Amino acid sequence: MIYVYLFSLVLGGVLVGASLLLGHHETGAGLEGGILSDAGDVPGAAGSIEGALVSFMTVRFWTFFLAFFGLTGLVLDGFALVSSGVLAAVLSIGMGLFAGGGASWAMSLARGGDTQSAATVKDYVGKSARVLVGFGPGTTGKVRMEIRGNSIDLLATSVDDASFAVRDEALVVDVDGNGVRVARMEPDRASRT
């Protein structure tokens, strides 16, 4: 069982370290009314049973579960601090559940109350987006938006005859199914001359 604890500790530790160094965004996992919603957001009230169950399906929960399950098991079983391997496993699972649930709960509090529901059309329309994949009239591209503190990538089409290159800024004017319709933030450079 020591090897299970060691593997969990190393994997969880690497994931925690990577999220600290590289930043941590869970995006675009679910669909809610045609709008992409954050996988870390839990629909409904913050203290609901559904919210608690959904928090077990986040990467954040499993990252902290693995790290603390492995650490607790390695310490208890490795140093023979408890009389039984079964007791060490039960205590390790309990610590992992506590740490994973606590991390999920703390992040939901830190993000504020309005992130506990799916994004609405109001959250998208009128906001700027950065073009990731260029597009023009009759073609589809991809844009990235910041919604409720999370980066979300969406399919995008132009509402007029404007073409968009990578890194251009676009203004979201409508939500269309699982994507957005955008317009130029500034007049076309060609029309200024």
Q: Do 94 and 50 share a structural domain?
A: yes
Could you read off the pLDDT of 23-69 as tens digits, one per residue? 655 443 333 333 323 334 433 344 556 666 666 678 888 899 999 99
Does residue 99 sit in the same domain as residue 132? no
Tell me how crowded residue 182 is: count the other CB atoms within 10 A of its CB. 27
The answer on pLDDT for 183 being more than 60 is yes
Cα–Cα dist 125/129, whole Å: 10
Among residues 68, 94, 116, the one where a domain terminates is 116
Question: Are residues 172 and 77 both part of a single domain?
Answer: no
- Asked if residue 157 and residue 83 are part of one domain, the reply reads no
> Which pLDDT value is given to residue 130?
93
Residue-wise pLDDT tens digits, 147-158: 877 788 999 999
Mean pLDDT of 6-28: 77
> 145: closest CA among 136, 157, 154?
154
> How far is the C-alpha of 8 from the C-alpha of 63, rounded, in Å?
9
Q: Which 3 state secondary structure label does DSSP give 1? A: coil
93 contacts 132 by C-beta, under 8 angstroms: no
Q: Where is the domain boundary, 116, 141, 174? A: 116
Long-range contacts: 77-80, Cβ < 8 Å, 24+? 77/1, 77/2, 77/5, 78/2, 78/5
Q: What is the pLDDT of residue 91?
A: 95
Q: 97-125: per-residue pLDDT in tens?
A: 999 888 888 877 776 654 445 677 778 88
Pull the structure tokens for residue 8.
């969990």
* pLDDT given for residue 18 in this prediction: 85
Residue 159 CA, distance from chain mean position: 29
What number is the average pLDDT over the span 121-136? 89
Residues 102 and 150 in one domain: no
- Higher-confidence residue of 167 and 27: namely 167
**pLDDT > 70 fraction of the chain, expressed in percent and rounded:** 74
Find the largest Cα–Cα distance for the chain. 83
Q: Which residue range forms the structural domain that includes residue 131?
A: 121-192
Q: Does one domain contain both 105 and 129?
A: no
Query: Does residue 152 sit in the same domain as residue 138?
Result: yes
| DSSP letter, residue 43 | S
- Residue 152 is part of a domain; what is its CATH number? 2.40.50.140
Is the domain of 14 the same as that of 32? yes
CA pair distance 97, 57, nearest whole angstrom: 12
Residue 14 has pLDDT above 50, yes or no: yes
- Note the pLDDT of residue 41: 40
- Cβ(154)–Cβ(129) under 8 Å? yes
Distances from the Cα of 123 to the Cα of 91, 145, 176, 187, angstroms: 43, 10, 14, 24
Domain C-terminal end among 56, 90, 116:
116
Average pLDDT for the chain: 78
**CA-based nearest residue to 127, from 112, 141, 148:** 148
Same domain, 110 and 138: no
31 and 112 belong to one structural domain: yes
Task: Show the beta-strand stretches assigned E in 128-187.
Answer: 128-133, 141-147, 150-158, 169-176, 179-184
**What is the number of structural domains in the chain?**
2
Strand 169-176 to 128-133 pairing:
antiparallel
Q: Are residues 133 and 55 in the same domain?
A: no
Q: Do residues 125 and 112 share a domain? A: no
